[in-house]
């Protein structure tokens, strides 16, 4: 299947969605071959544990299989893939005690930097999008550039949103 190597990821995903089982398997295998190393590196950076990263890798590519009908070719496959990878990593941290430890670490760090000190219990008062933005920035430690790619918002807009949310949280206005 040399021809698959010449297709874009979006074209491969379309084949995966619409082709016969053998062709779909070949398309998925090509996508996996192209992206497994990058997804692994991304997840390893988050978990710092090879075994956990392997488990998450399986979950990411299983999620792609289960959600293939949701993929729209107007979106870049790579962005869709990394949104799924990021979501799987967040789910992992939420489900483990490490997430709580990371929150405690952030709370301790933020009390040392009084300009960033916030009550983390207040995060529960935020809507899902606001909480996700702050988690991406402070829990996942993503750069504004990385967040911008995932959320498809400008870095300037994200910086303003984070600044406003932190200010509101510090003032207890949310």
Residues 90 and 102 in one domain: no
Give residue-wise pLDDT tens across range 30-40.
999 999 999 99
pLDDT at 45 over 60: yes
Tokens coding 87: 């979501």
Q: Is 2 exposed, middle or buried (0-12, 13-18, 19+ CB in 10 A)?
A: exposed
CATH of the domain at 7: 1.10.1740.10
Q: Considering the chain, what is the average pLDDT of its residues?
A: 82
Domain boundary among 70, 95, 120: 95
**Contact, 165 vs 134, CB < 8 A?**
yes
User: What domain range is 69 assigned to?
Assistant: 1-95
Number of structural domains in the chain? 2
CA distance 64 to 121: 33
- pTM, full prediction: 0.56
| 114 against 21, higher pLDDT | 21
Percentage, residues of the chain above pLDDT 90? 40
């Amino acid at each position: 299947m040399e021809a698959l190597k010449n297709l874009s990821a979006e074209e491969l995903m379309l084949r995966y969605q619409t082709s016969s089982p053998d062709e779909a398997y070949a398309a998925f295998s090509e996508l996996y071959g192209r992206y497994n190393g990058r997804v692994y590196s991304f997840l390893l950076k988050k978990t710092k544990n090879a075994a956990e990263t392997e488990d998450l890798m399986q979950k990411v590519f299983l999620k792609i299989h289960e959600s293939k009908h949701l993929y729209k070719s107007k979106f870049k496959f790579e962005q869709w893939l990394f949104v799924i990878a990021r979501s799987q990593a967040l789910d992992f941290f939420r489900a483990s005690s490490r997430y709580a430890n990371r929150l405690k670490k952030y709370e301790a760090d933020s009390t040392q930097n009084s300009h960033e000190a916030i009550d983390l219990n207040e995060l529960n008062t935020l809507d899902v999008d606001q909480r996700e933005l702050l988690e991406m920035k402070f829990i996942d430690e993503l750069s504004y550039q990385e967040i911008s790619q995932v959320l498809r918002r400008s870095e300037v807009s994200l910086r303003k949103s984070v600044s406003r949310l932190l200010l509101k949280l510090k003032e207890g206005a949310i």
